[in-house]
Amino acid sequence: MMRVDLLSIFPDFFTSPLGEGIIRRARQAQIIDIAIHNIRDHAGDRHQMTDDRPYGGGEGMVMKPEPLAACLKAVPRRGRSRVILLSPRGVPFSQQQARLYADYDQLILVCGRYEGVDERFSSHHVDEECSIGDYVLSGGELAALVVIDAVCRLLPGALGCADSAERDSFSRSLLKHGQYTRPPVFEGLEVPAVLLSGDHLAIARHRFLESVRLTLARRPDLLSGLELSKAERALLAQEGLLAQVEQARQEQKQALEISA
């Protein structure tokens, strides 16, 4: 069973999200164990202050190192554990990162707030900083929920269908194809006939091609990590898509070389 410990100054923030859907079922099935720790409980003053003005001046407040370190030290360690600070300056979170996290016995997620945390805490107590995107949130609580949800889906037994996680978007550097359900006609729009054919090979080919087309249109940068079988390359060539995929890869490679 994976253990997740959340360190936050707003522990009630997690009550509802962690009690719903897949995460709730995974907790009930003892696939994942989640504990929430209030950083304020480890503040040394009667006002439970966890932030102060930054040395050197500047806007906002900074989270103090002492309550953070004391809260972290109070968390029991289990097996292979990793301390992760949710921060806008962290490494971008991805499906690949979620897979790496899912291999740990314990994740300790520290939710930053304000202008950030004291650098002495992050440099001496944190294994890595993680960001869920190039934007700024009020705190790391929402980001922590994103990480937990993405990781929980990858734990054995968490999903009703064992193959669901492997077929999600980003599972192999492709966005997921469009999905359809009943009715067969909606507002004059019909479900693609191939999906009603019962021909599983034709359906697989259709979905693969749709994933490639969607990725080319919306996230061509993902294609740089796409590995293709000979059969897939032949199918893309037949549909006139192979050249577009190779061009997208080349453009991404050039962009990386320029940024470097």
Rounded to 10°, the helix 141-152/95-102 angle is: 70
Q: Which fold has domain 185-259?
A: Trp Operon Repressor; Chain A (1.10.1270)
- Report the C-alpha gap between 165 and 177 in whole angstroms: 14
Q: What is the pLDDT of residue 166?
A: 59
Q: What is the pLDDT of residue 168?
A: 58
Q: pLDDT grade, residue 167 (50/70/90)?
A: low
Are 216 and 223 spatial neighbours (Cβ–Cβ below 8 Å)? yes
Q: pLDDT grade, residue 45 (50/70/90)?
A: confident
Residues 220-247, mean pLDDT to the nearest whole number: 96
Q: Which of 168, 210, 232, 239 is catalytic?
A: 168
When computed from its CA atoms, the radius of gyration of the chain, rounded to whole angstroms, is 23
pLDDT in tens, 125-141: 999 999 999 999 999 99
Judge whether 115 counts as a catalytic residue: yes
Q: What is the pLDDT of residue 210?
A: 97
Residues of the chain with CATH 3.40.1280.10: 2-152
Task: Tell whether the model's pLDDT for residue 165 goes beyond 90.
Answer: no
Task: Tell whether the model's pLDDT for residue 249 goes beyond 90.
Answer: yes
Residues 224-239, mean pLDDT to the nearest whole number: 96
Judge whether 118 counts as a catalytic residue: no
Q: What is the pLDDT of residue 201?
A: 97
pLDDT in tens, 79-92: 999 999 999 999 99
Judge whether 59 counts as a catalytic residue: no
Residues 32-47, mean pLDDT to the nearest whole number: 94
Task: Tell whether the model's pLDDT for residue 169 goes beyond 70.
Answer: no
Task: Tell whether the model's pLDDT for residue 179 goes beyond 70.
Answer: yes
Q: pLDDT grade, residue 208 (50/70/90)?
A: very high
Q: Which of 11, 54, 88, 220 is catalytic?
A: 88
pLDDT in tens, 138-158: 999 999 999 999 999 999 999
- Report the C-alpha gap between 42 and 67 in whole angstroms: 5
Q: Which of 3, 27, 113, 153 is catalytic?
A: 153
Are 89 and 115 spatial neighbours (Cβ–Cβ below 8 Å)? no
Domain 2-152 has CATH 3.90.79.10: no
Q: pLDDT grade, residue 164 (50/70/90)?
A: low
Cis amide prior to 183 (ω within 30 degrees) = yes
Q: Which of 66, 115, 221, 251 is catalytic?
A: 115
Judge whether 251 counts as a catalytic residue: no
Residues of the chain with CATH 1.10.1270: 185-259
Which of 63, 64, 154, 67 is CA-nearest to residue 107? Answer: 154
Q: What average pLDDT does the structure give for the chain? A: 94
